[in-house]
Amino acid sequence: MLVVAIAVTIYIKNKDATSVHTEPFYTDLSVTLPSTIGSKIVIPNFLKDPVVVVDTQNPGLYHIGDTFGVSANGDGPLFVITYEKSSGYFNIMLLTKPFSSARIAAETYIKNILKIDESSLCGLSYTVSVPGYVDEVASGIDYRFSFCPGSVPL
């Protein structure tokens, strides 16, 4: 019986040491995000950036950038990016046609805010989509970033 107890204890200790931490980790200076394709992604703590706004109606949800403003042509915002702190999940919604241009603008914006390269962006937990109220036919698809595996052409 003692041998079984020792074996179970060793298994649990080894399992904890080798398990992948799948939740984001925050410090004042950095955020460590799990990656879907490799090593963890360590970036500056973008939640401290003045363009990141807490959603007062939804605790733990953040709006990244002033993306609710009007686009240059006055049609409305090109995209909206939200971030869920507990899961490290980014939701990018494309709001203006042509959606391919809105996706490129969102990709550039998030890359600059997070200060990471394209390969690291591909490892984030994220969705790029079009809401049904914007275009019913284009909705329901995860388009991904244009440069990532599994990207859907727009």
Residue 154 placed within a domain: no
Residue 15 placed within a domain: no
Predicted local distance difference test score (pLDDT) of residue 54: 94
Residue 86 placed within a domain: yes
Residue 43 placed within a domain: yes
Predicted local distance difference test score (pLDDT) of residue 73: 62
Residue 136 placed within a domain: no
DSSP assignment letter at 23: S
Contact 55, 82 (CB under 8 A): yes
Range of the domain at 71: 21-129
Q: Which residue reads 């390269």 in tokens? A: 117
Mean pLDDT of 25-54: 94
Overall number of domains in the chain: 1
Residue 11 placed within a domain: no
Higher pLDDT, 75 or 140: 140
Residue 119 placed within a domain: yes
Answer whether residue 30 shows pLDDT above 50: yes
| Cα separation values, 27 from 20, 31, 102, 140, Å | 19, 6, 32, 35
Peptide bond into 98 cis (omega under 30): yes
Residue 3 placed within a domain: no
Predicted local distance difference test score (pLDDT) of residue 12: 37
